[in-house]
Amino acid sequence: MEFNRRSPVYEQIITYFKERIANGEYKPGSDVPSRRELAVLFKINPNTAQRAYKEMEEQGLIYTEGNSPSRITEDRSTIQMLRKDMIHTALDDFIAVIKPMGLEIQDIIPLLQKKYGEEKKMIELRDVHKSFKNKNVLKGISFSIKPNEVTCITGLNGTGKTTLMNSIMQLNPIDKGEILLDGKKLTHQSFEKISYIPDTLKMPGNMNIQEAMNFMEIYYQNWNKDKATELISFFKLNPDEKLKDYSKGNQAKINFLLGLSLDADYFLMDEPLSGVDMFAREQILEVFTSNLITNKGVLLATHHIEEVEFLLDRVVMLQMGAIQKDFYAEEIRETEGKSIIDVMREVYQS
């Protein structure tokens, strides 16, 4: 969370909680972090966290029983009133901007409906938790993957990047939270809109490229033959050669070929440049500036930030399974004069 200088930090924390209670991200009765945990998470003074929690208890947004953790209110009337208040505040702000323009309401409503539909298009993670045995791998992950944005998740080894992607694809059932696609819960049909490109090629090595493409066409309704043909030509691959006979760099290209040839809205890419030679990397990176991912939402996990920094719109930094920092690259360049690598040094080496 990034704090502004226009209002006290404790008020911004309260607003943060209100928004998440109102939109359902924080479920009624669910635990909230302790005051100390919140202070560490947001890098604020514990007294500020304490003041925010005291105010939220007085407003009935959270409650604490004995020595148990604080919890989100279960009072439906309080939640409904909160939603109404937030709607009225948003409408007041909107009207204050629109009214002086002299626009007619009948002209505004169709635009609002269209824009509202566009805003709902995203993959959204809300308070996602995942553990293996006694190890918490994902701890309350919340962020979104939006169309026409390249979002990068970074972190040291073992911070949960691959687990996060596997969770989106429902390869790992999550313990808590929810993952939404365009505002709805994931279903089997949802995965026609999402393509997952893992860190290694998963097809049997005795297949050739053409056989691998035939396999994809059988199992995926959204397979695009024309796009596959274009990518074979772009990567200069021989469709009759067996997969096992290709170098690691060329196998990475084939992996991209199979993933990008799906007519999906979102692409998840796990370490696409890992172990790939310089020339193969250059070709793979060219894909990001082509029309193949125009208007698509991309989630990228990579250690090669220095090579992809110019492509990235948003960066979500994981540490010990939690989001340590979430920011837009251009915004932090303009406001703080820092590159993504500068921010990574601050977070991971502090």
Amino acid 281: pLDDT: 82
Q: Which of 7-16, 58-67, 282-291, 313-322 is predicted least confidently?
A: 282-291
Q: Three-state SS for 338?
A: coil
CA dist list (Å): 342 to 304, 307, 350: 14, 14, 12
Q: What does the alpha-carbon distance between residue 77 and residue 83 come to, in Å, rounded to a whole number?
A: 10
Q: Which of 26, 71, 30 is CA-nearest to residue 53? A: 71
Question: Higher confidence at residue 169 or residue 113?
Answer: 169
Q: What does the alpha-carbon distance between residue 149 and residue 222 come to, in Å, rounded to a whole number?
A: 22
Amino acid 238: pLDDT: 93
Evaluate if residue 119 carries a pLDDT over 70. no
Residues paired with 145 in a beta bridge: 123
- 34-53 pLDDT, tens digit each: 888 888 888 899 999 999 99
Evaluate if residue 185 carries a pLDDT over 80. yes
- 199-245 pLDDT, tens digit each: 888 999 999 999 999 999 998 989 999 999 999 998 999 999 999 99
Alpha helices, DSSP H, located in the chain: 9-22, 35-42, 46-58, 76-98, 105-119, 161-168, 209-219, 225-235, 248-260, 278-288, 305-308, 329-336, 340-348
Amino acid 120: pLDDT: 65
- 128-174 pLDDT, tens digit each: 999 988 888 999 999 999 998 999 999 888 888 999 999 999 998 99
Amino acid 117: pLDDT: 59
227 burial (CB, 10 Å; 0-12 / 13-18 / 19+) is middle
Evaluate if residue 264 carries a pLDDT over 90. yes
Amino acid 340: pLDDT: 93
Amino acid 48: pLDDT: 94
Amino acid 294: pLDDT: 84
Residues paired with 181 in a beta bridge: 123, 184
CA dist list (Å): 344 to 153, 161, 347: 11, 16, 5
Q: What does the alpha-carbon distance between residue 149 and residue 146 come to, in Å, rounded to a whole number?
A: 6
Instruction: List the Cα angle 147/151/152 in 5-degree steps.
Output: 160
Residues paired with 180 in a beta bridge: 124, 185
CB 288 within 8 A of CB 280: no
pTM for this entry: 0.68
CB 191 within 8 A of CB 169: yes
Q: Which helix (H) or strand (E) holds 149?
A: strand 149-154
Tokens encoding 127: 């308070």
Average pLDDT, rounded, for the chain: 89
Evaluate if residue 350 carries a pLDDT over 80. no
Q: What does the alpha-carbon distance between residue 196 and residue 166 come to, in Å, rounded to a whole number?
A: 9
Evaluate if residue 96 carries a pLDDT over 90. no
Evaluate if residue 118 carries a pLDDT over 70. no
CB proximity list for 294: less than 8 A, separation 6 or greater = 148
Largest CA distance in the chain: 70
CB 297 within 8 A of CB 145: yes
Mean pLDDT of 322-349: 91
Tell me the pLDDT band of 24, cut-offs 50, 70 and 90. Answer: confident
CB 28 within 8 A of CB 73: yes
Mean pLDDT of 167-185: 91
Mean pLDDT of 112-129: 78
Q: Which one-letter DSSP state was computed for residue 45?
A: -
Q: How far apart are the first and last CA of the chain?
A: 18
Q: Which of 71-75, 112-116, 166-170, 184-188 is predicted least confidently?
A: 112-116
- 282-331 pLDDT, tens digit each: 888 888 877 778 889 999 998 888 888 988 999 999 988 899 999 999 99
Evaluate if residue 267 carries a pLDDT over 90. yes
